[in-house]
């Protein structure tokens, strides 16, 4: 690329709480009838006093700690003054100079490389209402107004789209692991704001461009990637044409990532910040902070390291840390006796991420609710690794368990006599039958040695999956002089 990109992100996240940030109205607005969860505090009516939501602050601190931030024990809320129809008070309660969390980082991985993205700050604020545009009219639904919002701001540390995508994914995992929010982007629970500029070759390594393009309200990682591509093109054309770049706020024009100008910024916005007079300064004591710290369970990177140490392949470990239903079930299997070894862990993970995931999806169930027990699964895979049953039989038994809804792999194998044929004379009967039934294939086999695989398949079918494919192939080759 001709110009180096300088990218920072702001992430707006809805904290999962029962009530709003400064009043007791329900914060559950998704799909609700308009304007039912509102009160004088949400509207900032004269005399109404805001009371901070302790649970929301707890979640903000928890996320800050999970993002390796230092916590400011003495903090406060501030007023950001501006008027907009979705902000009925004429100001937003937010945090300006002393956020709850500061100076953290997130570790991301691109293939085998890892990098740190610095987190500048994590602060708490309230969300605005929702504007609904209908033809000439704009309607406002205040249910969302005042719901708790956490803002995460990164340093301009990103240079590529891959880094942005890896960061967004890892951040969403951390948020979910720390149980701060469900971070469902389709519901608008996590939104991005992009800050992007291009560095011309005349700037020194430590220098940043003197302009910044902000693109607001991006609701998905894939659109974010498209916006970066679009903005790179757009900005580099302007620079190539010798245009003086100035800071702008741009909006999303469509889902293919095009942006359009909303306003230019000749100077910094004047929001006339001042400390919120209706809320006393917030003092956080260390005991409470430590208590929150201890409530954080294993984080994604720790989980990934644990899987890699167990010997799982990178790709498998990545699936488990993203899809925690699968990962949790894998952990449960690993708690069973006789599972703690690399060979079996690798085999378990492959089966979980292919066949078992397939069954779960096909039957529209979940790993938690499916009828296959961890004991049965481990029992089957141990038999497989000991060469006592074939992969085909494993699948068959799992299918029977899913169809009947009953556990008991050992009984199923016994009842249906599914143990692998180890007795060569028994295997020979199937091989002989297949050879005599398929004269034509046998005749052609000298010209096309691959046809032997076809015969192996027939023996497998004839033996209902109980023949060992390798022994069968050897026996066939021997009999046919191959």
CB of 42 to Zn ion, least distance (A): 4
- Contact, 39 vs 241, CB < 8 A? no
Q: Give the range of 23-31, 192-200, 321-329, 403-411 binding Zn ion by CB under 5 A.
A: 23-31
Nearer to Zn ion, 25 or 190 (CB): 25
Does the footprint of Zn ion cover residue 455 (CB under 5 A)? no
Counting residues that bind Zn ion (by CB under 5 A) gives: 5
Cα distances from 430 to residues 167, 441, 480, in angstroms, run 56, 16, 14
β-strand pairing of 190-199 with 213-218: antiparallel
Residue with tokens 């004991």: 375
Contacts of 329 (CB under 8 A, 6+ apart): 352, 367, 368, 374
Q: Which stretch binds Zn ion (CB under 5 A): 20-28, 254-262, 266-274, 326-334?
A: 20-28
Least distance (Å) between residue 139 CB and Zn ion: 19
Query: Quick one: 20 or 172, whose CB is closer to Zn ion?
Result: 20
C-alpha 296/C-alpha 174 separation (Å) is 10
> Minimal distance in Å, beta carbon 40 to Zn ion?
7
Asked if 215 and 176 count as a contact pair (C-beta separation under 8 A), the reply is no
| Distance in Å, CB of 55 to Zn ion, minimum | 15
Judged by CB under 5 A, the residue of 15, 42, 178, 299 near Zn ion is 42
- Considering only the stretches 19-27, 64-72, 262-270, 286-294, report the one whose residues sit in contact with Zn ion under the rule CB under 5 A: 19-27
Nearer to Zn ion, 23 or 98 (CB): 23
Min dist CB 34 to Zn ion, Å, is 15
CB 418 within 8 A of CB 400: no
Q: How far is the CB of 48 from Zn ion (least distance, A)?
A: 9
Q: Which range, of 15-23, 169-177, 189-197, 419-427, touches Zn ion by CB under 5 A?
A: 15-23
Position 319 contacts Zn ion (CB under 5 A) = no
Q: Binding segment for Zn ion among 36-44, 63-71, 99-107, 308-316 (CB under 5 A)?
A: 36-44
CA separation for the pair 353, 340 (Å, rounded): 18
Q: How far is the CB of 50 from Zn ion (least distance, A)?
A: 9
Residue 140 β-bridge partners:
131
For 29-44, give the DSSP string: -TTPPTT-S--HHHHT
> Strand 4-14 relative to strand 190-199: parallel, antiparallel, unpaired?
antiparallel
Q: Give the other-Cβ count within 10 Å of 60's Cβ.
A: 30
Tell the smallest beta-carbon distance from residue 212 to Zn ion (Å): 35
Using the minimum distance from each CB to Zn ion, give the nearer residue, 35 or 96: 35
- Contact region for Zn ion (CB under 5 A) — 25-33, 236-244, 328-336, 459-467? 25-33
Q: Residue 242: CA atoms inside 13 Å, Cβ hemisphere, count? A: 0
> Which structure tokens are listed for 334?
């690993």
Enumerate residues 363-392 that contact Zn ion by CB under 5 A.
none
Q: Does residue number 25 form part of the binding site for Zn ion (CB under 5 A)? A: yes
Write 284-287 long-range contacts (CB < 8 A, 24+): 284/61, 284/71, 284/72, 284/73, 284/74, 284/75, 284/100, 285/73, 286/73
In 3D space, the residue among 468, 18, 49, 67 whose CA is nearest the CA of residue 280 turns out to be 49
Considering beta carbons, is residue 52 or 219 the nearer one to Zn ion? Answer: 52
By CB under 5 A, name the one of 34, 39, 289, 419 that touches Zn ion.
39
Residue 41 found at the interface with Zn ion (CB under 5 A): yes
Min dist. Cβ of residue 51 to Zn ion (A): 10
Task: Report d(CA 400, CA 372) in Å as an integer.
Answer: 10
50/327 with CB nearer Zn ion: 50
Smallest distance from Zn ion to CB 24, Å? 7
* Residue matched to tokens 């910024």: 265
Asked if 23 touches Zn ion (CB under 5 A), the answer is yes
What is the smallest separation between the CB atom of 17 and Zn ion, expressed in angstroms?
13
Which residue bears the tokens 């003092």?
Answer: 283
Smallest distance, Zn ion to C-beta of residue 276, A? 16
Residues 282 and 50: their CA atoms lie apart, in Å, by: 14
Could you identify the residue written with the tokens 């390291």?
A: 305
Is residue 172 a contact partner of residue 189, using CB atoms and an 8 Å limit?
no
Site for Zn ion in 253-312 (CB under 5 A): none
Q: Which region among 4-12, 35-43, 237-245, 448-456 touches Zn ion (by CB under 5 A)? A: 35-43
CB-nearer residue toward Zn ion: 41 or 63: 41
48 binds Zn ion (CB under 5 A): no
* Residue 153 binds Zn ion, judged by CB under 5 A: no
Q: Which of 459, 453, 376, 454 is nearest to 421 (CA)?
A: 459
Longest pairwise C-alpha distance within the chain: 97
Q: Which stretch binds Zn ion (CB under 5 A): 31-39, 197-205, 397-405, 443-451?
A: 31-39
**Residues of this chain that bind Zn ion (CB under 5 A):** 23, 25, 39, 41-42
């Amino acid at each position: 690329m001709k110009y180096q990109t300088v990218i920072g992100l702001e992430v707006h996240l809805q904290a999962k709480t029962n009530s709003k940030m400064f009043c007791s109205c329900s914060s559950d607005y998704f799909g609700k009838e308009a304007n039912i969860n509102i009160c004088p505090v949400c509207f900032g009516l004269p005399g109404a006093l805001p009371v901070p939501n302790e649970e929301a602050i707890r979640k903000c601190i928890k996320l800050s700690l999970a993002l390796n931030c230092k916590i400011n024990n003495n903090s406060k809320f501030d007023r950001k003054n501006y008027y907009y129809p979705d902000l009925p008070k004429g100001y937003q309660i937010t945090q300006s100079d002393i956020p709850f969390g500061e100076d953290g980082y997130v570790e991301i991985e691109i293939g085998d490389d890892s990098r740190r993205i610095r987190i500048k700050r994590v602060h708490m604020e309230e969300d605005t209402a929702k504007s609904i545009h209908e033809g000439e009219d704009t309607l406002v639904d205040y249910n969302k107004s005042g719901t708790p919002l956490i803002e995460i701001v990164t340093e301009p540390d990103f240079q590529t789209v891959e880094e942005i995508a890896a960061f967004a994914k890892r951040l969403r995992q951390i948020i979910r692991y720390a149980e701060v929010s469900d971070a469902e982007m389709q519901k608008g629970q996590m939104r991005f704001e992009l800050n992007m500029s291009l560095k011309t070759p005349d700037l020194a390594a430590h220098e940043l461009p003197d302009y910044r393009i902000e693109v607001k309200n991006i609701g998905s990682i894939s659109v974010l990637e498209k916006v970066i591509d679009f903005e790179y093109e757009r900005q580099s054309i302007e620079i190539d044409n010798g245009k003086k770049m100035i800071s702008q706020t741009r909006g999303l024009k469509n889902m293919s990532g095009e942006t359009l100008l909303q306003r230019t910024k000749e100077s910094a916005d004047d929001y006339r910040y001042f400390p919120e007079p209706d809320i006393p300064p917030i003092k956080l004591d260390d005991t409470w902070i430590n208590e929150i710290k201890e409530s954080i369970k294993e984080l994604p990177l720790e989980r990934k390291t644990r899987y890699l140490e167990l010997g799982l392949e990178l790709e498998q470990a990545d699936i488990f840390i993203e899809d925690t239903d699968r990962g949790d079930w894998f952990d449960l299997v690993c708690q069973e006796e006789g599972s703690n070894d690399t060979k079996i862990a690798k085999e378990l993970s492959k089966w979980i991420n292919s066949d078992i995931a397939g069954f779960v999806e096909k039957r529209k169930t979940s790993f938690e609710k499916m009828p296959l027990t961890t004991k049965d699964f481990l029992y089957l895979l141990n038999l497989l690794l000991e060469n006592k049953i074939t992969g085909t039989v494993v699948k068959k038994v799992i299918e029977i368990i899913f169809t009947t809804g009953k556990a008991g792999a050992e009984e199923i194998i016994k009842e249906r006599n599914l143990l692998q044929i180890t007795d060569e004379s028994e295997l020979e009967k199937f091989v002989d039958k297949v050879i005599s039934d398929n004269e034509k294939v046998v005749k052609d086999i000298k010209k096309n040695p691959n046809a032997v695989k076809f015969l192996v398949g027939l023996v497998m079918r004839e033996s209902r999956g109980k023949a060992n494919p390798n022994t069968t192939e050897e026996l066939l080759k021997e009999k046919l002089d191959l």
